């Protein structure tokens, strides 16, 4: 049994079903109402640790997403984009996970920036992708039940093995006080003809990113540790739009379609491990992915399936 119907829970469910296990998901919210649905979802290992494990999990996910893009039902595009910095930087720690990569040229840098990288990455349109994952899970025999749990013992009462993909909910369900929200606000605008994504985490005006999808662009953003307000703040939205406009003039006059907020599940490190709370029982934890839930999803799902198999061979 899996707790959580976001991208992590669905990916784990698919891997377990493919390995021959029965799988049911219990979740407070259906996939389209999870934090995963808000994500701009360009592949990038953002605010997820430790780096050595994250680069392995994100590399595995990169390869899986690149394979899945052949199916238009997944909503996966591949975009070339760049990350820019107002100072000189070394090679990124995640470099080994990305095959299409180079240093940025001076001509490609916006005014005020001095260094950066250019790389190819999957861009995942989450409303489409989550629907694809849910259909794939259910076609393999999985089932999703909407249930609110007070703790993991409720799940263990009827199941020998529980996979905990509860994200921010793990703070209560797993009594893990190290889990904290990272509030992210985005603006969704109509696509004005932008094809390259831009990531700017250190610009003088604050975080800015532009993630172009097929018919819209996601503009971000914020990364406010500890903030829990789910209502969009219009002054914050104005700041996001202004920072992104400074990076790409084509956004001027773009139609604003939607304002969205999500609470990323922060943690000092990703928790991916197996516990044995009682004889014959196993809990596999898979949460604390920060801003990289999609980026780590398949790599972590593969690890979850391995841990489950060690505890309970199919």
Give me the residue spans of the domains in the chain: 2-311
Q: Which residues are annotated as a binding site?
A: 35-36, 209, 264, 290-295
Residues in Cβ contact with 306 at an 8 Å cutoff, skipping those fewer than 6 apart: none
For 245-285, what is each residue's pLDDT tens digit? 999 999 999 999 999 999 999 999 999 999 998 888 999 99
Planar angle of CA 125, 3, 5, nearest 5 degrees:
20
Q: Which residues are annotated as a binding site for FAD?
A: 35-36, 290-295
Across the chain, mean pLDDT equals 96
What pLDDT sits at residue 280? Answer: 86
Inform me whether the pLDDT recorded for 96 exceeds 80.
Answer: yes
For 21-77, what is each residue's pLDDT tens digit? 999 999 999 999 999 999 989 999 999 999 999 999 999 999 999 999 999 999 999
* pTM as predicted: 0.96
**Higher pLDDT, residue 294 or 204:** 294
For 128-178, what is each residue's pLDDT tens digit? 999 999 999 999 999 999 999 999 999 999 899 999 999 999 999 999 999
Q: Classify each residue of 135-146 as buried b or exposed e, where b means 16 or more C-beta atoms within 10 Å of its C-beta.
A: ebbeeeebebee
Inform me whether the pLDDT recorded for 314 exceeds 80.
Answer: no
For 83-93, what is each residue's pLDDT tens digit? 999 999 999 99
Give the pLDDT band of residue 296 (cuts 50, 70, 90). Answer: very high
Q: Record the tokens describing residue 298, joined without a space.
A: 């398949």
State residue 261 phi and psi, 5-degree precision: -135, 140
DSSP string for residues in 5-27: -SHHHHHHHHHHHHTT---EEEE
What pLDDT sits at residue 234? Answer: 98
Q: Record the tokens describing residue 49, joined without a space.
A: 């640790």
End-to-end alpha carbon distance in the chain: 14
Q: Does domain 2-311 have CATH number 2.60.120.620?
A: no
Q: Record the tokens describing residue 54, joined without a space.
A: 């994250």
Q: Which residues are annotated as a binding site for D-dopa?
A: 209, 264, 291
Residues in Cβ contact with 36 at an 8 Å cutoff, skipping those fewer than 6 apart: 6, 7, 8, 126, 130, 293, 294
Helices (H), the chain: 7-18, 51-68, 126-139, 153-156, 170-173, 234-247, 293-311
E strand spans, 248-308: 256-266, 271-275, 282-287
What pLDDT sits at residue 239? Answer: 97
280: left (phi over 0), alpha (psi -120 to 50) or beta: left
- DSSP category for residue 255: P
For 220-241, what is each residue's pLDDT tens digit? 999 999 999 999 999 999 999 9
């Amino acid at each position: 049994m899996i707790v959580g119907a976001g991208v992590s829970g669905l990916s784990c469910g698919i891997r377990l079903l493919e390995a021959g296990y029965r799988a049911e998901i219990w979740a407070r919210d259906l996939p389209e109402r999870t934090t995963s649905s808000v994500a701009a979802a360009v592949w990038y290992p953002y605010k997820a640790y430790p780096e050595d494990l994250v680069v392995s999990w994100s590399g595995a996910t990169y390869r899986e997403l690149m394979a899945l893009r052949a199916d238009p039902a997944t909503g996966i595009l591949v975009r070339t984009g760049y990350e820019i910095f107002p100072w000189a930087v070394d090679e990124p720690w995640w470099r080994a996970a990305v095959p299409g990569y180079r240093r940025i040229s001076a001509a490609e840098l916006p005014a005020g920036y001095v260094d950066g990288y250019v790389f190819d990455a999957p861009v995942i349109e989450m409303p489409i992708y989550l629907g694809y994952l849910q259909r794939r899970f259910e076609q393999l025999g999985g089932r999703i039940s909407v249930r609110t749990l007070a703790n993991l013992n409720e799940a263990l009462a009827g199941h020998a093995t529980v996979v905990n993909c509860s994200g921010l909910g793990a703070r209560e369900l797993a009594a893990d006080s190290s889990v904290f929200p990272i509030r992210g606000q985005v603006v969704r605008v109509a696509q004005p003809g932008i094809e390259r994504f831009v990531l700017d985490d250190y610009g003088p005006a604050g975080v800015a990113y532009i993630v172009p999808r097929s018919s819209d662009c996601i503009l971000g953003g914020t990364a406010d540790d500890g903030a829990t307000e789910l209502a969009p703040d219009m002054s914050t939205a104005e700041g996001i739009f202004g920072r992104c406009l400074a990076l790409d003039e084509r956004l001027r006059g773009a139609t604003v379609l939607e304002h969205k907020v999500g609470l990323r599940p922060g943690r000092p490190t990703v928790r991916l491990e197996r516990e044995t709370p009682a004889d014959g029982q196993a809990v596999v934890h898979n949460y604390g992915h920060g801003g990289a839930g999609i980026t780590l999803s398949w790599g972590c799902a593969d690890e979850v399936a391995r841990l489950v198999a060690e505890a309970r061979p199919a």
